[in-house]
Chains A and B, each alone.
Chain A
Amino acid sequence: MEVQSIIFPNGMPLQCGEVIAPLEVAYQTYGTLSPKRDNAIVICHAFTGDQFVASPHPLTGKPGWWSRMVGPGLPIDTERFFVICTNVLGGCMGTTGPTTMRAGTDKPWGKDFPPITMHDIVAAQIKLIDHLGIKQLFAVIGGSMGGMQTLTWATDYAERVFAAMPIATSPFQSAQNIAFNEVSRQAIYADPDWHGGDYQAHGVIPARGLAVARMVGHITYLSEEALTRKFGREIRPGTMPAPNSPLAALPFGGMFQVESYLQYQGSNFTRRFDAHSYLTISRAMDFFDLGSEHGGNLAAAFQQVRTRFCVVSFSSDWLFPTAQSRMLARAINQAGGHVSFVEIESDRGHDAFLLEEPDFDRTVRGFLNGAARHAGLPEGRDDHAV
């Protein structure tokens, strides 16, 4: 599949007051836009995700990150819906971000890339939606930080979003999540290859710091049960010192499987992700707080919003716990909105939304079918009665 992208020469103003020009938005689409342009679904990717939701990643060759959810006949059925996924503003997979060459210079934006917000990220997406001539999206769907974008879509452009599915997310970034992000950021700053943010000029990347940042993230995406089931206290074969070696007397011999897994995830990540992008996007997440933007009243954010919501959480997710989703669903109710709320039973932590969870699949399929019925879309092939 060819890489799609569009350049807006006049760029866009950011919330911070700066203007990014030109603005490039990289995206992938799946399925066909209906003649009435009423079957479009925007999928918003998570923190370190990308637009390759259902097609192989061009750098790693791995299948799309939600290829088990998005495709022909799958819960987000590309035979029925036109799916659009953009790389977020500030990202590093084609959309304008810190690795993009800055106009009028011979250098990338790097550490001078301006601070961005969730509103900016969604505003960049809407430029693409306008360009595609789509007035109203049938749905916006996203997990984790994708859920924050979904909520921003539904509150900033309510009349353009018929249905919304914020998954494993929260109406605000919690203190705990900011704390984890700060550990990640400090790990990047502490890398000798960081060079005060000028690593690109030195022809290096702060790979060790970025890898540690990813390792911290990975722990928060899982759960104790999932880690125990996957690795337990297993020692990686071949890492124990030989019985006759002097190391054998030390208590630190051998490498736990969980250590090896995290190191692998960390070093893999540095091949596909930029440290400045990591910092920029993590900051955009940290400053996300829908309630505080409405005078501390979360329900006020959903006043006049007629979007049909389906809020989904996972029981073992401690990064975006169910209580935060429940708070979101109740706020939508307080505004007289339309909301379904489901907690999916799973012991796999935050990552559960990316994994095989049959109840979750059924929820996504069912909610979209029900919403499509209300939107007057043609019946899908599995749109059966109770």
Chain B
Amino acid sequence: MRFDQELIATMVAPQSRVLDIGSGDGSLIDYLSRQKGCDAQGLELDMKAVTQSVAHGLPVMHGDADEVLADYPEDTFDYVVLQRTLQAVERPREVLRHMLRIGRSALVSFPNFGHWRLRWHLMRTGRMPMTAVWPTPWYETSNIHPCTIYDFFALCAEDGYAVRNWMVVNGDKRSRVAERSPHLANLLGEQALFLLQKGR
């Protein structure tokens, strides 16, 4: 399991109901159901990954988050997880809205476009930045909605989501320095992880 997935797992209460959007190979829901007794389901767009997950006994539904999240009734889950996918969905704001409609809490991780290396790259070369976290050229990337940590805080405020917790992940560890303030996080954080709830 990736480090950011381990962090997500620590934030999920045992025995809870979880939907993992973009569940990939299913390692997070597998961990949550085996180690924490959760009722964890996945939603995944890549059919190969879906087949692989179901073949491993994991409940995964094939579908596109932009389309099928609207199906689920309110408060179906305790947590709805979106890992490194927010920037790739067609309507991120709608997806977030549905996450907090169908779940009591939302766990969202995304790569931070405000990181200093990207800013420096753009300023120095005048070209779209490419880094380990943002590895594909602009004409091929599936990341159609990049945002910064600031942007995300602003959207949460605008749509009335309470930020219950947030963390910064650089490589394979948390960056305590960056977590000192949103300003530092926006500058020094490669990835961010947010725990949101409805209401301010």
**Which A residues fall within an 8 A CB radius of B?**
308, 310, 326, 329-330, 333-336, 338-345, 359, 362-363, 365-367, 369-371, 373, 383, 385-386
Give, as a whole number of angstroms, the nearest-CB distance from A340 to chain B: 5
Give, as a whole number of angstroms, the nearest-CB distance from A79 to chain B: 18
* B30 surroundings in chain A (CB, below 8 A): 385-386
Residue B177 CB within 8 A of the other chain: no
Q: Tell which of A334, A342, A365, A367 touches B62, judged by Cβ atoms closer than 8 Å.
A: A342
Taking CB atoms and an 8 Å cut-off, the chain B residues in 23-60 that contact chain A are 25-27, 30, 34, 39, 41, 47, 50-51, 54-60
List, sorted by A's number, 12 A–B pairs whose CB atoms are closer than 8 Å.
A329-B61, A329-B63, A330-B63, A333-B61, A338-B41, A338-B59, A340-B60, A340-B61, A341-B62, A362-B55, A366-B54, A385-B30
In the complex, A362 Cα to B56 Cα: how many Å? 8
Residue B76 CB within 8 A of the other chain: yes
Residue B160 CB within 8 A of the other chain: no
Given A334-B71, A359-B55, A365-B55, 19 more A-B residue pairs with CB atoms under 8 Å apart are A330-B71, A333-B61, A333-B68, A333-B72, A341-B50, A342-B60, A343-B47, A345-B47, A363-B55, A366-B54, A367-B57, A370-B56, A370-B58, A370-B59, A371-B57, A385-B30, A385-B34, A386-B56, A386-B58
* B61 surroundings in chain A (CB, below 8 A): 329, 333, 339-341
Taking CB atoms and an 8 Å cut-off, the chain B residues in 66-86 that contact chain A are 68, 71-73, 76
CB closest chain-A residue, reference B62: A341
* A310 surroundings in chain B (CB, below 8 A): 54, 59
In the complex, A335 Cα to B51 Cα: how many Å? 23
CB pair B57–A366 under 8 Å, yes or no, is yes
* B55 surroundings in chain A (CB, below 8 A): 359, 362-363, 365-366
Whether A370 contacts B47 in the complex (CB less than 8 A), given A338-B41, A386-B26, comes out as: no
Among B41, B54, B62, B76, find the residue whose CB has the most chain A CB atoms closer than 10 A: B54
Q: How large is the interface on B (under 10, 10 to 19, 20 to 34, 35 or more residues)?
A: 20 to 34
Give, as a whole number of angstroms, the nearest-CB distance from A205 to chain B: 44
CB pair B57–A359 under 8 Å, yes or no, is no
CB pair A383–B57 under 8 Å, yes or no, is yes
CB pair B54–A367 under 8 Å, yes or no, is yes
Q: Tell which of A308, A330, A340, A345 touches B68, judged by Cβ atoms closer than 8 Å.
A: A330
CB pair B71–A333 under 8 Å, yes or no, is yes
CB closest chain-A residue, reference B63: A341
* B76 surroundings in chain A (CB, below 8 A): 336
Give, as a whole number of angstroms, the nearest-CB distance from B95 to chain A: 16
In the complex, A359 Cα to B30 Cα: how many Å? 20
In the complex, A363 Cα to B41 Cα: how many Å? 16
In the complex, A335 Cα to B30 Cα: how many Å? 24
CB closest chain-B residue, reference A299: B71
* B62 surroundings in chain A (CB, below 8 A): 326, 329, 341-343
CB pair B47–A342 under 8 Å, yes or no, is yes
CB pair B72–A336 under 8 Å, yes or no, is yes
Give, as a whole number of angstroms, the nearest-CB distance from B26 to chain A: 7
Instruction: List 8 A-B pairs, minimum CB-CB distance, nearest first.
Output: A370-B57, A362-B55, A366-B55, A369-B57, A333-B71, A341-B61, A386-B56, A336-B73
